[in-house]
Amino acid sequence: ATVCLVELMDMAFSIDNVFAAVAFTPNIMLVCTGVFIGILAMRFIAQWFVKLMEKYQFLETAAFVVIGILGVKMTISLYEHLYPESMISKTLSLHAADVGMSILTVAIFFVPIVTSMLFNFPRKQPSEE
């Protein structure tokens, strides 16, 4: 059942990518090639990330934190859409804000891994060793 759900979500995101890409270029072959490469990349990255989460179980918490932060960012982007002339919207739409969000997201995953490898913090659970 889980595999079917993942496949269904993968298909939904692929269709979404096609619609978004067609808005940028009418070249359907380019769009299909890009979506195919994206699907393959997501499969390999997902498998790698699952292995990483098996080794470092605290990454599950990090994933929930990142999803929460991205949810807040999406909520704030609604404000940006409704009030584009406000100072907050102008600040949040800067490239630096996007870079900062990307750095924060990557740090939430990689800082605990590095500290766990170097200092055993957060401590590995007995099932992790």
67 and 127 together in one domain = yes
Q: 33-66 burial string, b = 16+ CB within 10 Å, else e?
A: eebeeeeeeeeeeeeeeeeeeeebebbeebeeeb
Structural domains counted in the chain? 2
Residue 129 confidence (pLDDT) above 70:
no
> What Rg value do the Cα atoms of the chain yield, rounded?
19
* Same domain for 42 and 71: no
pLDDT in tens, 10-19: 777 777 777 7
Residue 14: give the domain boundaries.
Answer: 1-55
**How far is the C-alpha of 73 from the C-alpha of 100, rounded, in Å?**
12
Are residue 46 and residue 75 in the same domain, yes or no?
no
Task: For 98, list phi and psi in degrees, rounded to 5.
Answer: -65, -40
How do residues 37-61 score in pLDDT, each as one tens digit? 887 887 888 888 888 888 888 888 9
